[in-house]
Amino acid sequence: MVLNSRRGQRAFLCMTTSATIRYSVAEEMESGSFVANVAKDLGLEVGKLAARGARLVSEGNKLHFRLHRKTGDLFVKEKLDRESLCGKADPCVLHFEVVLVEPLQSFRVEVRVFDINDNAPVFLKKEPLLRIPESTPLGSRFPLQSAQDLDVGLNGLQNYTLSANEYFHLHTRFRSNGPKYAELVLDKPLDREEQPEVNMTITAVDGGSPPKSGTAHIRVEVLDVNDHVPQFSRLVYRAQVPENSANGSLVATVTATDLDEGSNKEITYSLAQNPEVILQTFQIHSETGEVRLRGPLDFEAIETYDIDIQATDGGGLSAHSKVLVEVVDVNDNPPEVTVSSVSSPLPEDSPLQTVVALFSIRDRDIRVGGKITCFLKEDLPFAVKPTFRNSYSLVTDRGLDREAVSGYNITLVAMDTGPPTLSSETVIEVLISDINDNPPVFQEDSYILTVRENNSPAVFIGKVLAEDLDLGENAKVTYSLLPPKSGDLSVFAYISINSDNGKLYALRTMDYEAIQHFQFVVKATDGGFLSLSSQVTVRVVVLDDNDNRPMILYPLQNGTLPCNDLVPRSAEAGYLVTKVVAVDVIFIIHICQKIKHREKFTIQEHFYDDCNFSNNLVQGGASGPISQPCPYEMCSATGTSNSEFRFLKRFMPNFPFPHGNGEAKTEAGSRLPPDSDRNRSRGSEGHAQVSDDYM
């Protein structure tokens, strides 16, 4: 028991093993009245309710209590009126849940509101009129209207008393479903000529302490002799009516007869002395006695009705009977789903069985609705898991992937077994939050970019693009260049990249004769807490411009003397006199000669042989270029005067060869063999050494 010393109100606590906390309070407690300390009753430390985001969730649309999350105290939110909350239902119980998050947890709370004697009995008719014939036999009974008392139990209507008179006494009777009512019992014969009217006061008293009461003034008008009163065919009529019956549906037909003649035989039916709820629900045809529905029936509200029927003849004599109506329950209420809490957004890496939402299901047709089932309307990565009684939790059943589905509208279906089968649908929206589980992905497996030599520094040459399927910072891509491997060119001296958009720029002017192509690696990194990355290879090809004049390699020139070549006297037409060899700087040409001792001269040791030499040189004749192209390969050449030159293939001057014995290094960094024409004297002595067998 918890006592609120501040206002003198008492609240009673009872906790069951099914995690339901029960309190009891009296009605009319003022707003702010202390009920109990929920944190203490749940076994939680002070401050835990606030730390775990505690809140109250009502099964209805209104909360009658408020929770102080720092202290755990439960207070009355507004003044409680049991009659307004529950009517005549007893006990009056208010339901709500205490929901905690982090982790998600709920506790059911029931607060029973006890009645206090705050309503007095009231008669709807303050001056009822009874017309009673003077010939009415002793012991005849006359039902009176019931007093209405909104309180229940001992505080409700308990008894009736009648003021002193010599003609009647009062007899209190009980209805099967409804308030007590009183009957006047005739003790002394009436004589209209002696006393045409009898006046009395009836008092209705409740059982409160102190008791409350209400009064009505009864006026009895004594009628002249009418020998016979109407007689009903039955004292009690019984009927069963389904709760979904339409207005105007026939409930029962009552029949009464009168042995008198003339107007005294004519019978009129009425619903006399019935509570207001019966008058709003039923009606009777005054001539036929047909009792029909006037308003809707609801088995969940009222299961039986006790209707008083009065038959009155033309002379004013009346008789009474009852119609007991049993409302038949039908399955007309689908199950109701109440969602108390939802965790959204939900991280996409949430483990299986993570609680997503808490909800409860109620079926008002519990007797005929049968078993309730709850399931998801679609195949989603979630499942419904029962917790206790009619409470359930929605949990993850499979892995989540935000990149595939960023959110779910989860339709909960609650269905009874009928008949007929009824169901309701409730949609829970759950958003999926992103985690960094996807690396950036380049649009291409590799990139090939071109730049023409003699370009301006900082010129834009192209861009790379990588996309990340994640969201927000996890999808923000930053680009960078990876440092080259040991011994490779420093890519940072040639290329720069915009870290935001992947645009690539050439930092220096390119020289095709120095470098024809190079490659580097670009790295794309996302902005996640644990960042992910990917790499792609970019190959840059330098395009050639015609920016170098051709150089004549043979015949050798000394700048002063003309070149002389010897021709045998026996030379015939078409004899090859000489060959003029020129090269543009895609190339270095080595001329191999056969000296007079016919010794072979080989110069292959330091030259590349893994690339193709352009086959675009032509032979020259006396009247111009020879029409047939001459192929050239890298090797020494020997033979007759018709032998071909052999050309070396191209190489990259920026990568010098190791120094070797007998080699001469040119200004461009290339190396020539020691006996090449360039290393010889440029005088005429060089020409004297050329034999008839030359190249």
Which of 153-162, 264-273, 636-645 shows the lowest mean pLDDT across its residues? 636-645
At residue 297, φ and ψ (nearest 5 deg) are: -105, 150
Beta bridge partners of 538: 447, 520
Q: Do strands 282-284 and 268-270 pair parallel, antiparallel, or not at all (unpaired)?
A: unpaired
Q: How confident is the model at residue 270 (pLDDT cuts 50, 70, 90)?
A: very high
pLDDT higher than threshold 50 for residue 585:
yes
SS3 state at 638: coil
Per-residue pLDDT, averaged over 286-297, amounts to: 96
Our CA angle for 419, 420, 423, nearest 5°, is: 115
pLDDT at 607 over 90: no
- Predicted confidence (pLDDT) per residue in 336-347, tens digit: 999 999 999 999
- Whether 13 shows a pLDDT value over 60: the answer reads no
The candidate with the shortest Cα–Cα distance to 264, out of 312, 220, 221, is: 312
Instruction: Report the chain's mean pLDDT, rounded to a whole number.
Output: 81
Residue predicted with more confidence, 415 or 681? 415
- In terms of pLDDT, which residue wins out, 258 or 175? 258
Asked if 191 contacts 229 with a C-beta cutoff of 8 angstroms, the reply is no
Report strand pairing: 373-376 vs 336-342.
Answer: unpaired
User: Residue 593: is its pLDDT beyond 60?
Assistant: no
Top-confidence residue, 676 or 398: 398
Asked if 135 and 226 touch (Cβ cutoff 8 Å), the reply is: yes
Strands (E), 314-445: 318-328, 336-342, 346-347, 355-362, 373-376, 382-386, 391-396, 407-415, 423-433, 441-442
Q: Is residue 681 very low, low, confident or very high in pLDDT (cuts 50, 70, 90)? A: very low
Distance, in Å, from the CA atom of 146 to the CA atom of 131, rounded to the nearest integer, reads 18
Higher pLDDT pick, 489 / 410: 410
Is residue 230 within 8 A of residue 257, CB to CB? The reply is: yes
Q: Is the pLDDT of residue 84 over 60?
A: yes
pLDDT at 433: 94
Measured distance CA(229)–CA(616) in Å, rounded: 140
Distance in angstroms (rounded) separating the CA atoms of residues 618 and 603: 23
Confidence of residue 578 (pLDDT cuts 50, 70, 90): confident
- Hey, what domains does the chain have and what are their CATH numbers? 21-114 (2.60.40.60), 129-223 (2.60.40.60), 231-328 (2.60.40.60), 336-433 (2.60.40.60), 441-543 (2.60.40.60), 549-560+574-594 (no CATH)
pTM score: 0.54
Range 502-517 average pLDDT: 93
- In this predicted structure, what is the pLDDT of residue 489? 61
pLDDT value of position 477? 97
Q: Report the pLDDT value the prediction gives residue 553, as an integer from 0 to 100.
A: 79
pLDDT confidence of residue 592:
37
Burial class (CB in 10 A: 0-12, 13-18, 19+), 309: buried
**Rounded CA separation 48/305 (Å):** 51
Amino acid letter at 575?
Y
Tell me: pLDDT of 178 over 70.
Answer: no
148 neighbors 191 (Cβ within 8 angstroms): no
Least confident segment among 7-21, 68-82, 84-98: 7-21
The residue written with tokens 């209104």 in the block is 62
Q: Record the tokens describing residue 485, joined without a space.
A: 């491997």
Which residues have CB under 8 Å from 416's CB, separation 6+? 331, 334, 335, 363, 365, 369, 370, 371, 372, 373, 422, 423
Q: In this structure, are strands 533-543 and 446-452 parallel, antiparallel, or unpaired?
A: parallel
For tokens 């001992």, name the residue. Answer: 154
Say how far apart CA 378 and CA 395 lie, in whole Å: 15
With a cut of 50, say whether residue 493 has pLDDT above it. Answer: yes
Query: What pLDDT, on the 0 to 100 scale, is given for residue 559?
Result: 63
Q: What is the pLDDT of residues 368-406, one digit of tens each?
A: 777 889 999 999 999 999 998 889 999 999 999 999 999
The stretch 588-615 carries a mean pLDDT of 37
Residues 95-149: pLDDT tens digits? 888 999 888 888 898 899 998 888 899 999 999 999 998 889 999 999 998 898 8
| pLDDT for 615 | 39
**What is the amino acid identity at position 65?**
F
Evaluated on CA atoms 218, 220, 284, 243, the torsion sign reads positive
DSSP 547-569: -S--EEEES---SSSPP-----T
Q: What are residue 311's DSSP bridge partners?
A: 269, 319
Q: Which residue has the higher pLDDT, 31 or 241?
A: 241
Res 632 pLDDT > 60:
no
Give the helix/strand (H/E) hosting 279: helix 276-281
pLDDT of 650 above 80: no
CB neighbourhood size of 212 (10 A): 19
What is the pLDDT confidence band of residue 432, given thresholds at 50, 70 and 90?
Answer: very high
The pLDDT score that the predictor gives to residue 122 is 93
Flag whether pLDDT at 192 surpasses 50: yes
